[in-house]
Amino acid sequence: MYPCIDKLRRPAIIALAGLTMTVCGGKDSGSPSQPVPVPSPTPTPIAAPTPGPPVSASCARLPPAADKYTCRTEHASFSDELDEAIDTVKHEHPEAFDGDHVKNVGLYIVEVIKEFDRMGICADFDGEELGVARNHNFNDQYDILTARGQIRRYFVGSCYPSVVPVGRKLRGVPGGCNLPASREISCGDPAPSYDGEVASAIDEVLKTKPELFDFNDIAPRTDWPAVKDLHAYYQALIDILVAKGYCGRFDGEEIAVKKTNDFSEQYDVNYKDKYVRTGRGSYRGACYPAAF
C-alpha cells in the first residue's frame, strides 16, 4: 500500500499522473510512485541585538590600561571635577542617598562615571577605587565610598601609565533576550524592582509544572517544596520571565534578571541547593549596568 496523495500537494505532482497512478486505499496497478521532496522552509535568522553605547565614551577612546605601572602619592589632578561629579549625582538622584549615606552603590558609581564623561574625562571603577584619566600617560585614584557606605572624596595617588579603563569581558546574550550584552561596573543592595515578578514566576512554575517538585518534602518552617530537577526549575522561571518581556540568566548560583541594560537584579531562588526559595529573602542585590 502506498501513501495517499494529499490534496494540498496534488498540483505539485499532477505532472506524474501519466507515469504512475496510486489509488488511495486500494492496490496500485503500476510501479510505486516516488515521493516528491518538499523543501524545508529556511528559518529566518535572528539578528543579534545592536551593542549598546559605552558607559563612558571618554574611556572608550583611550587605549587599554597598562599592564606594568607604578603608583605614588602626589598632587591630585581631578579633585575639583570629582567634587562636581559627586554633587551633581546627589542632586539629580536624591533617591540613591540618605544624606551622605549611599543607598544605591551601583547607581552612585556609574552616575559619577557618567558625569566625568560629560566633562570629557575617563573615569572607571576597579571594585575599590575610581580611576580618572584624560590620556594614557597617568591617572588619579580616588576612594569615593567608605566601608560603611558613606560618600568619600579621598585622593589615593597617581599611577604611571594609566590603569584605566578597566578591561571587562562581556558575557553572551541568553536566548530570548532582545537586549545587547552588558557587564556590571558596581553592585549594591538597593530596594528591589523585580521581586514581585520573580515571586509570581515561581508561583506559576509551582502550579503549572508540579512534576518538578516533591511536595512531600518541605523545607523546615516554610512552604517551599524540594526541587527534583534544579536545571529545569531555573529554565522554567527564565522562560516565564522572558515571556513577560524580561531577560534572565542563571549564573551558576543565582538568576540575574533585567528589563533594561541600566541595571540587573540577582535572585537566589533555591534554598540549600534543594528547595524552592521565594519572597524578599531571595533578592540578593542589583548591578549597574546590567551584569549580562
Q: How many domains does the chain have?
A: 3
Asked if residue 77 belongs to a domain, the reply is: yes
Question: Do 30 and 67 belong to one domain?
Answer: no
How many residues would you count in the chain?
292
Mean pLDDT of the 185-191 span: 97
Mean pLDDT of the 83-94 span: 98
Mean pLDDT of the 186-207 span: 97
CB neighbourhood size of 163 (10 A): 20
pLDDT at 171: 85
Question: Do 147 and 190 belong to one domain?
Answer: no
pTM: 0.81
Averaged pLDDT of the chain: 87
Q: For the ranges 45-49, 70-74, 83-87, which has the lowest average pLDDT? A: 45-49
Residue 238 has what DSSP assignment?
Answer: H
Question: Do 21 and 63 belong to one domain?
Answer: no
Nearest CA to 152 among 206, 202, 112?
112
pLDDT at 140: 98
pLDDT in tens, 121-130: 999 999 999 9
pLDDT at 34: 55
Nearest CA to 257 among 184, 198, 188, 179?
198
User: Does position 290 have pLDDT exceeding 90, yes or no?
Assistant: yes
pLDDT in tens, 21-61: 333 334 444 444 555 554 444 433 445 677 779 999 999 99
Asked if residue 252 belongs to a domain, the reply is: yes
Asked if residue 225 belongs to a domain, the reply is: yes
| Residue 56 cell numbers, joined | 563612558
The torsion region of residue 279 among left (phi > 0), alpha (psi -120 to 50) and beta comes to left
Domain that holds residue 91: 57-160
| Residue 113 cell numbers, joined | 562615571
Q: How far out from the chain centre does Cα 53 lie?
A: 15
Question: Do 63 and 153 belong to one domain?
Answer: yes
Interhelix angle 230-243/195-208, rounded to 10 degrees, is: 120
Question: Do 206 and 239 belong to one domain?
Answer: yes
User: Does position 8 have pLDDT exceeding 60, yes or no?
Assistant: no
Residues facing 141 on adjacent strands:
131, 157
User: Does position 20 have pLDDT exceeding 60, yes or no?
Assistant: no
| Residue 103 cell numbers, joined | 543607598
Q: Residues of 77-104 as b/e, b for ≥16 C-beta within 10 angstroms?
A: bbeebbeebbeebbeeeeebbeeeebbb
The rounded distance, in Å, linking the Cα atoms of 127 and 169 is 15
Mean pLDDT of the 215-231 span: 97
226 near 237, Cβ under 8 Å? no
Q: For the ranges 35-44, 61-70, 229-238, which has the lowest average pLDDT? A: 35-44
User: Does position 120 have pLDDT exceeding 60, yes or no?
Assistant: yes
Question: Do 204 and 151 belong to one domain?
Answer: no
